[in-house]
Amino acid sequence: MKKIKVALIGTGNWSLQHCRILTQHPQVEFCGILGRNKEKTKKRAKLYDVPYYVDLKELIKNQQPDLINISLPNEHHYELTMKVIKSNCHLFVEKPFVFKMNEADNLLKEAKKRKLFFGINFNWHYSTPVKKAIDAIKSNRVGDINFITWRFGGQGGGKGLDPYGNLIETQCHGFDMLEYLNGPIKSVHSFMTNKTNNGFSTFVVSMKFKNKAVGSLLGSYDTSYQYPNTHYVEINGSKGRILIEDQVKKYTFNKKNSETAEVWQAGFFNDYEREFLRTFDEHFNEVIVNFLKGKEPPIHANKGKRALQLALASIRSMQTKKSIDLR
**What integer is the mean pLDDT of 228-245?**
94
Which pLDDT value is given to residue 199? 84
> Are 119 and 174 in a shared domain?
no
Domain shared by 83 and 171, yes or no? no
Sheet strands (E) in the chain: 4-9, 28-34, 52-53, 67-70, 90-93, 118-120, 145-153, 185-193, 202-209, 214-220, 231-237, 240-245, 250-255, 261-265, 324-325
Q: Which residue has the higher pLDDT, 297 or 223?
A: 297
Report which of residues 8 and 271 the model is more confident about: 8
In CATH, what number is assigned to the domain containing residue 70? 3.40.50.720
Q: What is the pLDDT of residues 115-172, one digit of tens each?
A: 999 999 999 999 999 999 999 999 999 999 999 999 998 887 656 678 888 899 989 9
**Residue whose C-alpha is closest to residue 67's, from 86, 33, 92, 97:** 92
Alpha helices in 10-141 (DSSP H): 15-24, 38-48, 56-63, 78-86, 101-113, 128-138
> CATH number of the domain that 169 lies in?
3.30.360.10
pTM over 0.75: yes
Q: Please check whether residues 24 and 77 belong to one and the same domain.
A: yes
Could you read off the pLDDT of 260-302 as tens digits, one per residue?
999 999 877 677 777 778 999 999 999 999 999 999 999 999 9
Q: Judge if 205 and 72 occupy the same domain.
A: no
Asked if residue 61 and residue 131 are part of one domain, the reply reads: no
Q: What is the pLDDT of residue 153?
A: 87
pLDDT over threshold 80, residue 191: yes
Q: How many domains does the chain contain in total? A: 2
Pairing of strands 214-220, 145-153: parallel
Phi-psi region of 25 (alpha: psi -120 to 50; beta: other; left: phi over 0): beta
Domain carrying residue 28? 4-123+279-299
Considering the domain architecture, whether residues 31 and 110 belong to the same structural domain is answered as yes
Stretch among 149-153, 155-159, 222-226, 255-259 having the lowest mean pLDDT: 155-159
pLDDT digits (tens, 9 = 90+) for 31-69: 999 999 999 999 999 999 999 999 999 999 999 999 999
**pLDDT confidence bin for 197, thresholds 50/70/90:** low
Residues 267 and 295 in one domain: no
Q: Mean per-residue pLDDT for 66-81?
A: 93
Split at pLDDT 50, 70, 90, the class of 307 is very high
Q: Which residues contact 268 (CB under 8 A, 6 or more apart)?
A: none
Q: Are residues 111 and 137 in the same domain?
A: no
Same domain? For 78 and 226 the reply is no
Say whether both 98 and 141 belong to one domain: no
Let me know whether 182 and 198 are in one domain: yes
Q: Is residue 114 domain-shared with residue 193, that is, in the same domain? A: no
In degrees, rounded to 5, the angle at the alpha carbon of residue 198 between the alpha carbons of residues 303 and 14 is: 45
pLDDT of residue 127: 94
pLDDT grade for 327, boundaries at 50, 70 and 90: confident
